[in-house]
């Protein structure tokens, strides 16, 4: 999806395609931050032991995708897709600043992530409420997949196209 070959034929959509890759990388890092924050809350707020699997993965995903994510121009992204909800924009901006600062500890991002997740009401896991605690207890960090950049299921699309080509 993000290959040089695709970019070469993207024509006037090339800048938007590049921003889509940057947004996908930032979203993957954001998902990893969210999972790391949940692990931290298990230990700090809930006083429960939990692995550091997602916090360790955060370091890896930042190493792999941080440089791409940092390049995202959020204003240009909004020009592509329309206005972002203010709390989501705050999360993106805070995450970009965190990446630019080179931090590896996500705890400083708790407030914007908690505020953005508040839209879920009683389903919010980062909430410092009895419902938030219940939702965290339902979450299993060891079973929860590790965060990756958004990928738009291109592998499945490719498989479908190959299957269709083989059927002719």
Percent of the chain with pLDDT over 70: 94
Mean predicted confidence (pLDDT) in 48-63 = 96
Alpha-helix runs per DSSP H in 71-129: 74-81, 86-101, 110-117
pLDDT value, residue 17: 92
Closest CA to 30 of 71, 77, 62, 78: 62
Using one digit for the tens of pLDDT, what is the confidence trace for 116-159?
Answer: 999 999 999 999 999 999 999 999 888 889 999 987 666 666 67
Locus of tokens 């914007």? 112
Q: Evaluate if residue 63 carries a pLDDT over 70.
A: yes
- Of the two residues 25 and 168, the one the predictor is more confident about is 25
pLDDT value, residue 157: 62
pLDDT value, residue 155: 66
Percent of the chain with pLDDT over 90: 77
Closest CA to 67 of 45, 42, 97, 99: 99
Say what the pTM is: 0.89
| Measured CA distances, 22 to 19, 30, 37, 69, 122 (Å) | 5, 12, 22, 5, 31
């Amino acid at each position: 999806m993000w290959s040089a070959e695709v970019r070469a034929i993207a024509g006037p959509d090339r800048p938007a395609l590049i921003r889509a890759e940057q947004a996908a990388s930032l979203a993957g890092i954001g998902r990893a931050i969210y999972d790391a924050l949940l692990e931290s809350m298990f230990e700090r707020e809930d006083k429960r032991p939990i692995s550091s699997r997602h916090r360790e993965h955060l370091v890896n995903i930042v190493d792999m995708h941080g440089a791409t994510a940092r390049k995202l121009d959020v204003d240009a992204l909004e020009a592509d897709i329309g206005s972002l909800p203010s709390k989501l924009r705050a999360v993106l901006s805070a995450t970009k600043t965190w990446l630019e600062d080179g931090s590896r500890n996500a705890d400083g991002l708790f407030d914007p992530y908690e505020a953005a997740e508040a839209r879920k009401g009683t389903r919010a896991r980062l909430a410092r409420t009895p419902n938030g605690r219940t939702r965290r207890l339902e979450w299993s960090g060891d079973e929860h997949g590790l965060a990756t950049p958004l990928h738009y299921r291109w592998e499945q699309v490719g498989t479908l196209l190959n299957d269709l080509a083989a059927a002719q």
